[in-house]
Amino acid sequence: MKKVVESFAQAVAELGCVTARLDEVQIVAFMDAIVRARRIFCIGVGREGLSTRGFTMRLMHLGKEAHWIWDDTTPAIGPGDLLIATSGSGEIGHVDYVFDQAVAHGAETAVLEVG
């Protein structure tokens, strides 16, 4: 049992390290963008993509119209919409392409770099 408790303690400590690096101004701006968005579109790949897909579902649970970019029923993005892109490396070709298209079609964007 001690091994489990030590693992939980380590996870909490690691979360504390992440929390210490957060910029409250950026977090508030991100939350404001979510609140004002007409619709929210999310994209990511790998582990970040899995988390982002879950976040998309949580946005829907909060009553926001949210779409995962790769779903067949995802509508076209445009003004008043928000694209949330997550990336570990910051350089993934198809995520960059979708980001550029969102900007070209007048959407607001938020990029979350994980790493």
Domain count, the chain: 1
Tell me, yes or no, whether 13 lies in a domain: no
- pTM of the model as a whole: 0.85
* CATH code at position 90: 3.40.50.10490
Which residues make Cβ contacts (< 8 Å) with residue 33, sequence separation at least 6? 82, 108, 110
Tell me, yes or no, whether 9 lies in a domain: no
The first and second tokens of residue 39, run together, are 């619709």
Q: What is the pLDDT of residues 14-37, one digit of tens each?
A: 999 988 989 999 999 999 999 999
- Could you tell me if 78 and 102 are in contact, meaning their C-beta atoms sit under 8 angstroms apart? no
Tell me, yes or no, whether 18 lies in a domain: no
Tell me, yes or no, whether 48 lies in a domain: yes
Tell me, yes or no, whether 99 lies in a domain: yes
Please give the Cα distance from 20 to 34 (Å, whole number).
23
Which residues span the domain enclosing 83? Answer: 23-113
Q: For 69, how many CA atoms within 13 A lie in the half-sphere containing its CB?
A: 23
Q: What is the pLDDT of residues 37-51, one digit of tens each?
A: 999 999 998 888 899
